[in-house]
Amino acid sequence: MANKLLSEAAVNHAAVTKRGVLERLFTMMFQGFVYNQIWEDPAVDLEALELDENSRLVTIASGGCNVMTYLTANPGKIIAIDLNPNHIALTRLKLAALEHLPSYDDFFRFFGIADDRDNRSIYDQYLLPHLDDNTRRYWQRWVPWGGRRINMFTRNLYHHSLLGRFIGLVHLVSRIHGKHPSEVLKAKTMEEQRAIYERAIGPMFDSRFVKAMARLPVSFYWLGIPPAQHDELMAAANGNPANLFRERIERLACDFPISENYFAWQAFGRRYDVDGRDAIPEYLRPEQYEPLRDRIGKVETHLASMTDYLASQPDESLDRYVLLDSQDWMNEEQLTSLWREIGRTATPGARVIFRTAGDESPLERKLPADVLAPWSYDAERGERFLARDRSSIYGGFHIYTKAA
């Protein structure tokens, strides 16, 4: 089922064409564990969404981090959808851990540190008996040179996944060039962050190797970026992707205090701030632990495409939608099918947020006028939210509201 869902989402050209080969290569890579952490800032999302106790939110799950953080706002319902069974398994594991681990310290050790041998026995004792069959099979499966998949939590989860290994490769290349990106995590002021960036990170983008890698589509697939989204990035980069990466990494390193930016800790340290516990996701903060445990029943998860899931729902049954960057994958037909279902299931006043690799929303140029007509676009607010997004990797943040 998962292979079929991914192929329907990412493959749009014949296998005998160059583009068709690249699409199938991406699909093969994306079938695995791609994101150990989601790379959209949920603090920005929550402000844009304006959730309340009656909100019914549907979102792409990815690594499950934002699902958990949205739950801190105590909405009426969160429905987490994903094409990738690896991401659904991780989201379900987080929910089970929140419900069944005996303490906050155990929960933080598992997902905040994610690098402790005790996590294996904690999983066996407290989580394994409570997992659904698919999730249990996923984490029990043996993988070459690693034993059970759950062992990732004894060897730093954040070194694993397609994205985790790519970040590890970038760190290796940096060390070969005598640079150490993790230095920026020691900065005490934003001035120090800037100085360290200019000494230890920025020069990497002048390297011939980095420039050559940035021109290869397959390098983007390691980041979970499919061919269609690669096209958007290349257009935004004016043919110079190394410079685009430089600009966005500079923003990540310099535009927000390191002490509170857990995205920077993951990019430059491959971990969270486990000592100070300031640069960590909101759902991992101790004051959120008990409230979140009380709200677990408000979350449901589904292995499905967003369009297929929405097609099964009643008219005007949802009022908040988080599409992440998924629309960068879509052709006009797929985008239109999705938005017809969003329009049908959305209540008056419903809100949709999403991000794009480039700076422009695709809707005005890809959707039929009748599908787009009920929706108003707030470009100015989107620009403000983008500027405050600590992940710093996207070119656009977009907000659409359905007419009341």
Sheet holding 56-60, edge to edge: 299-303, 77-82, 56-60, 318-322, 346-356, 396-402, 375-377
Query: In Å, what is the CA distance from 291 to each residue of 154, 295, 327?
Result: 27, 7, 33
Which among 3-12, 157-166, 207-216, 280-289 has the top mean pLDDT? 280-289
Phi/psi of residue 145, nearest 5 degrees: 60, 10
Q: What is the mean pLDDT of the chain?
A: 88
pLDDT at residue 34 is higher than 70: yes
pLDDT at 402: 98
Q: Compute the average pLDDT of residues 142-158.
A: 92
Q: How many CB atoms lie within 10 A of CB 345?
A: 22
pLDDT at 30 over 60: no
Q: How far apart are CA 220 and CA 166, in angstroms?
A: 10
Mean pLDDT check: name the lowest of 148-157, 164-173, 184-193, 227-236: 227-236
Q: What is the pLDDT of residue 208?
A: 81
Flag whether pLDDT at 241 surpasses 90. Answer: no
52-96: pLDDT as tens digits: 999 999 999 998 999 999 999 999 999 999 988 999 999 999 999
Residues 307-324, mean pLDDT to the nearest whole number = 97
Q: Provide CB contacts within 8 A for 239, sequence distance 6+.
A: none
Residue 220, pLDDT score: 62
Q: What is the pLDDT of residue 205?
A: 81
Could you tell me where the beta strands, DSSP code E, fall in 42-83? 56-60, 77-82
- How many other CB atoms sit within 10 Å of the CB of residue 116? 15
Dig out the tokens for 26 from the structure.
């991406």
| Alpha carbons 138 and 148: distance in angstroms, whole number | 9
Q: What is the pLDDT of residues 361-397, one digit of tens each?
A: 999 999 999 999 999 999 999 999 999 999 998 889 9
Query: What stretches of 283-393 adopt beta strand conformation (E)?
Result: 299-303, 318-322, 346-356, 375-377
Look at residues 192, 202, 206, 180 and name the one whose alpha carbon lies nearest to residue 247: 202
Most confident of 10-19, 151-160, 173-182, 279-288: 279-288
pLDDT of 115 higher than 80: yes
User: Would you state the pLDDT for residue 144?
Assistant: 85
Task: Say if residue 125's pLDDT is above 90.
Answer: yes
User: Which amino acid, residue 248?
Assistant: R
Assign residue 103 a region: left if phi > 0, alpha if psi is -120 to 50, beta otherwise? beta
In contact, 305 and 81? CB cutoff 8 Å: yes
Domain ranges in the chain are: 161-269
Compare 73 and 226 and report the one with higher pLDDT. 73
Cα separation, 196 vs 25, in Å, equals 37
* pLDDT tier at 401, thresholds 50, 70, 90: very high
Helix axes 227-236, 241-254, angle to 10 degrees: 80
- Global confidence as pTM: 0.88
Closest CA to 292 of 123, 111, 60: 111
Q: How many CB atoms lie within 10 A of CB 328?
A: 24
Question: DSSP for 293-313?
Answer: HHTGGGEEEEES-HHHHHHTS
Structure tokens at 337: 């099918």
Q: What are phi and psi of 203, to 5 degrees?
A: -60, -20
Q: What is the pLDDT of residues 275-314, one digit of tens each?
A: 999 999 999 999 999 999 999 999 999 999 999 999 999 9
Residue type (1 letter), 53: E
Nearest residue to 39 via CA among 3, 20, 65: 65
Spatial contact of 390 and 264, defined as CB atoms under 8 Å apart: yes
Choice between 162 and 21, residue whose per-residue pLDDT is larger: 162
- As a whole number of Å, the end-to-end CA separation of the chain is 38
27-37 as b/e: b if 16+ CB within 10 A: beebbebbbbb
Contact 33, 161 (CB under 8 A): yes
User: What does the pLDDT read at residue 373?
Assistant: 97
Res 221: pLDDT: 57
- Judging by beta carbons within 10 Å of its beta carbon (0-12, 13-18, 19+), is residue 192 exposed, middle or buried? middle
**Predicted local distance difference test score (pLDDT) of residue 264:** 94
Instruction: Dump pLDDT digits (tens) for 166-205.
Output: 777 777 878 877 888 999 999 999 999 999 999 988 888 8
- Measure the CA–CA gap between 70 and 64, rounded to whole angstroms: 10
Q: Which distant-in-sequence residues (6+ apart) come within 8 Å of 299 by Cβ?
A: 67, 71, 77, 78, 79, 80, 95
Percent of the chain with pLDDT over 90: 66
Task: Give the confidence band of 338 by pLDDT, cuts at 50, 70, 90.
Answer: very high
pLDDT category of residue 2 using cuts at 50, 70 and 90: very low
